[in-house]
Amino acid sequence: MIFRQLLSVLLLSLSTQLKKFLGKSVKRAKHLAEEYGERAVNKVKSVRDEVFHTDQDDPSSSDDEGMPYTRPVKFKAAHSFKGPFDFDQIKVVQDLSGEHTGAVWTMKFSHCGRLLATAGQDNVVRIWVLKNAHDYFNNMRIKYNTEGRVSPSPSQESLCSSKSDTEGGFGATVEDADTEDRNVPFRQVPFCKYKGHTADLLDLSWSKNYFLLSSSMDKTVRLWHISRRECLCCFQHIDFVTAIAFHPRDDRYFLSGSLDGKLRLWNIPDKKVALWNEVDGQTRLITAANFCQNGKYAVIGTYDGRCIFYDTERLKYHTQIHVRSTRGRNRVGRKITGIEPLPGENKILVTSNDSRIRLYDLRDLSLSMKYKGCVNSSSQIKASFSHDYSFIVSGSEDKYVYIWSTYHDLSKFTSVRRDRNDFWEGIKAHNAVVTSAIFAPHPDLIVPQEAGTEKPDSDCKSDSTDDSETIPSGALKTDHTEVLLSADFTGAIKVFVNVKKY
């Protein structure tokens, strides 16, 4: 479907490539394909690949290929940023490379922070588990397989949002059965692998009760549960499914965004679309989607740089933001690649293909902060927050991981624009495009805190239960330890630990 649409558009006007994505009819697309031949077909395929950066060859062939794992992490910072730095002492503590074949497009931690899902070009979802949590999840799996219990199903009872019953389920660390390095946080082999998709996986989403959604270029969304090896349900779409998100307050529902221009709210127990809406305009491709304000609104990002908000209750249009600069080459909107809510502050973080990350205030749709430094011109790289929202991290096409403070520490600077943040810190441990980078939601599970340090709540529950206007805990920077993971175009995954010394 998308191939025919792109073909029609390209042949209508090569000078305005990707300005329109929908042809008038399948017959016309077929006629044009026959008329212009294989050259046009190959050109359209290259345009399609640009949308998702799915080139088979790494576009940034490394000049230090074969970089040994033991080499120290390279650190750099913006020229105007003279310190003090937050991540100049970061260290690689584990390498999970060797499992994925091809690029890792997406990584997501479970709400409790003990499970990590990774997926990408090889069509397989992999679940990694912290070593001190392995026995608990293994027992959960054994219980469902040996006691004859019915597999978890997308029913109201099993999916209703509630506090997980795993509280207290993880006791003291149990000695692993294998001979792995006991100093690394994750088991070196995935806890499970989910197979069933037939094309690249583009997004993942966890529920609070260990259900996992995966979306793919095979035009489907699949539902899994950590206790089961098989797919529980498959939700068919018309085109690539670029983004998915469980409803934050009721995970019987999830949101999906697709290249067919339709935003769908799915009812999992009924296995059908409960509500849907369609993007208007000439360029209708949905490239990002999420919930904000604790599920009050659904928000999507489009290929032409629009963030469109819908009232979740009826999925009716609410408002939109044009994500672009007021002047210069970025005054034309570029593809939105990621949308992340900032709980407690009524703001969202938007990543786009103009190599910019923007923080918007939803009260008046104003731009609160713009973050510069990373290179993201054609990839599906998205930025995200640290566990306490004090930092922002993003992958980059120049093989670095970039980190910013969410807000300026004005004590460090004598003169600075309050709405611009060019003071990045960069780390390099990859020899290819860094396609994904995320912070661990509960770093204390990986790096035990010092005695007397206040521990955050590590229960598997929602990050935000209200829409209060309080400042996130990140503004206080009470926790000095961060755990960071990054993945690249070749399938390499690195685990970093940063302990800030004050």
Structure tokens at 497: 């630990």
Calculate ∠ Cα 4-120-145, nearest 5°: 120
pLDDT at residue 479, as a whole number: 54
Q: Which of 50, 40, 51 is nearest to 9 (CA)?
A: 40
Whole-structure pTM value: 0.78
**Range with the poorest average pLDDT among 34-43, 293-302, 360-369:** 34-43
Which candidate, 240, 238, 271, 241, places its Cα nearest to that of 253? 271
CB 493 within 8 A of CB 484: no
Q: Is 110 exposed, middle or buried (0-12, 13-18, 19+ CB in 10 A)?
A: buried
pLDDT in tens, 168-207: 333 333 444 455 677 899 999 999 999 999 999 999 999 9
Average pLDDT over residues 293-311: 97
Tens-digit pLDDT profile for residues 35-78? 334 443 343 344 344 444 444 444 444 444 433 333 468 899 98
Predicted local confidence at residue 328, as pLDDT: 67
Which pLDDT band holds residue 453 (cuts at 50, 70, 90)?
very low
pLDDT on residue 159:
46
Alpha-helix residue ranges (DSSP H) falling in 13-108:
26-52
Give the pLDDT score at 417.
59
Q: What is the mean pLDDT of the chain?
A: 79
Q: Tell me which residue of 431, 385, 382 sits closest to 53, measured CA to CA.
A: 382
